[in-house]
Amino acid sequence: MLWNSNAKTVVQTMLKEAQEKATRERKEDAVKRLSYYHDEQESYIIEQLEKHHADPDAFTPVFFNVVKKIINQLAMVYMADAQREIDGTDQDKAIFSEIIETANLNFKMKTASRYCQLMKTIMLRPVWRQRKMDMDILTGDILDVEIGDTVELIKTVMVTHYPQSGESKDIEYSLWTDETYKRLDYNGNTLQAEPNPYGTIPMVPIWDSYPATGGFWLPGGEDLFSVQSTINQKLTDLMLVIEFQGFGVPVAKGLPAGGNLQIGPNTAIEIENPEGSFTFEKTNSPIKQILESIDFLSKNLALTNGLSAASMSVKPTQESGLSRISGSAELQELRKDQISLFGRYERQLFNMFWLVWNTHNPTWKISDKARLKIDFFDPRPVMSPDKQAELWQAELEMGTLSRTDILMLKNPDLSKEDAIKKLAEIQAENKTFNTSPDQGAKPEE
C-alpha cells in the first residue's frame, strides 16, 4: 500500500513538472515571436554568440526583419477597414458606432489579424474601462487556458499582469471562470474575489486556422524564426568578415620574431634584411557566398509561405498588395480562409461587446435583436483608365451600377448621400458648360 501511494505521488509530480515545462517553453516561444516581430532581436543574437564563440565581443549583432515583412503580407483580411453595419434600432447603431470609435476597432482588428498569423493563437477581450469600451489583444506569453471537451469550451482563463517594477513579488493574476473573477498575488493568494458579472468568460479566442488537432495553442510558423535566426547569424558573421577583409592581413618577412609593430598610414616600417618585406595580403573571404545564402533563405522562406520571391527583393517594384494576391491562387485561397474565420470572430466579438456594454449600461442598451453585418474589402484588379471606363459604361447600360456607385468607387470616403450631392454638383456644372445631354440626367441613387 505504501508503494502504491508513493508511486501515485511520483506520477503526479512528474506530470506537474512536465506541464510546467511545456507551459514555460510555450510562453518563452511567444515572447520570442513578439520580440522578433517588433525588432527586438539583438539579445537573441548575443545569446547565440556567447554559446558558440569564445570571443563574442568581437562580433557586432546585425539583423533585418524578414518575420515582420512576411507576417504583414500574409495577414490579408484587413487590407482596408471592414464595413460594419448593425441591423437593429437607431440606438443600436449609435452605440456600436461609439464602440468602434472608443475601442479603435479598425486598427486593433488589423493588429489582431497580424498577431494571429504570428502567434497562431490569441484572445480578444472587450473591456469596460474608464467609462467606455475598449478591447485588449491578449497573447500566449500572458495567458493560461483550461479547456473542456472541445477547444471552444473554455473553462478557465488566467491572465498574468507583469509589473513595471520588474519584481516577481509584484506580479498579479486575473483568474476568470463563468462564475467567478479573482485577482491573485504572485503566490496565488486571493487579493479580490467576486461573481463574474457577465456569466461567461469575456474573451474571444482567435486561431489562424481551425484547431482540428484538439489543442488550444496551435503550432506552426517555426520556419520563420529558424530562418530569421540563421540570417541574423550570417549577417553578424558577414560584418566581421568585411572588417577583416577591408584591412587585410599583415605579412612580414625578415623581421625579428615576436616584435610589436606599430602599423598605420603614418608609420614607416624599416626592414634591414635585404630579403625582407612587409605587405598586406588580401584574404579569400566568402562575402559573395554569404550574401547569396541570405538571399536564398529569404526568397525560399517567402515561397514556402505562399508569397512570391519578388516580395523579398530589395529592388523597387510596382507590385501592390492587390496585384500580389490576384496573381497567386494560393494567396487567394488563403485570404478566403482568413475572411471566413474572421467573419465568425467578428460576430462573436460583437456578441461579447453587446454583453459587456449592456452589463455596464443598463439604461442605454443594445437591443436583443441587434445583429452585425460585416463586409470585408473586396480587392479588384487594377485596370487602365480606358478599360475601366468601358466596364463602367457597360454596367451603367445593364443597370447593375449607378453613377453614384462610380463616384464612391473612385473615392471610398464618400457616403451615399455625399456621392448623390457630388453628382448633382457635377451635372449642374456640366449643364452650365453645355456638355452632352446625357450628362444632365437626374442623379441615380
Predicted confidence band at 1 (pLDDT cuts at 50, 70, 90)?
very low
Task: Write down the mean pLDDT value for the chain.
Answer: 84
- Closest by CA to 378, choosing from 75, 79, 74, is 79
Edge-first strand listing for the sheet containing 190-195? 143-147, 154-161, 172-176, 180-184, 190-195
Name the percent of the chain lying above pLDDT 70.
79
The string of pLDDT tens digits covering residues 70-122 is 999 999 899 889 999 999 999 999 999 999 999 999 999 999 999 999 999 99
Check residue 358 and give its pLDDT: 97
Instruction: Let me know: does 114 contact 395? Beta carbons within 8 Å.
Output: no
Cβ proximity of 159 and 167 under 8 Å: no
- Kind and range of the H or E run holding 359: helix 329-360
Nearest to 49 by CA among 62, 38, 39, 40: 62
363: phi then psi, degrees, rounded to nearest 5: -105, 0
Q: Which three cell numbers stand for residue 70?
A: 512576411
Cell output for 97: 458606432
pTM of the predicted structure, to 2 decimals: 0.76
Q: Which residue has the cell 493574476?
A: 173
Task: Answer whether residue 244 shows pLDDT above 90.
Answer: no
Is the pLDDT higher at 326 or at 225?
225
Q: Where are the beta strands (DSSP E) in 219-338?
A: 249-253, 277-281
Q: Residue 245: which pLDDT band, with cuts at 50, 70 and 90?
A: low
Range 328-355 average pLDDT: 91
Q: How far apart are alpha carbons 248 and 262 in whole angstroms?
A: 15
Give the confidence band of 14 by pLDDT, cuts at 50, 70, 90: low
Asked whether residue 260 carries a pLDDT value surpassing 80, the answer given is no
The interaxial angle of helices 222-247 and 42-52, nearest 10 deg, is 70
325, three cell numbers: 494576391
- Among residues 414, 373, 348, which one has the least CA distance to residue 82? 373
Given a cut of 90, whether residue 267 has pLDDT beyond it is no
Highest mean pLDDT among 59-68, 98-107, 156-165: 98-107
Distance of alpha carbon 86 from the chain centroid: 28
Strands in 132-138's sheet, in edge-to-edge order, are: 132-138, 121-129, 204-207
Closest by CA to 281, choosing from 321, 251, 302, 238, is 251
Helix (H) or strand (E) holding 371: strand 371-375
Determine the Cα–Cα distance for residues 198 and 258; give it in Å rounded to an integer: 80
Q: Which residue has the higher pLDDT, 401 or 291?
A: 401
Q: What is the mean pLDDT of residues 162-170?
A: 87
Q: Lowest-confidence range among 39-48, 97-106, 383-392?
A: 383-392
Looking at residues 9-31, what average pLDDT do you find? 76
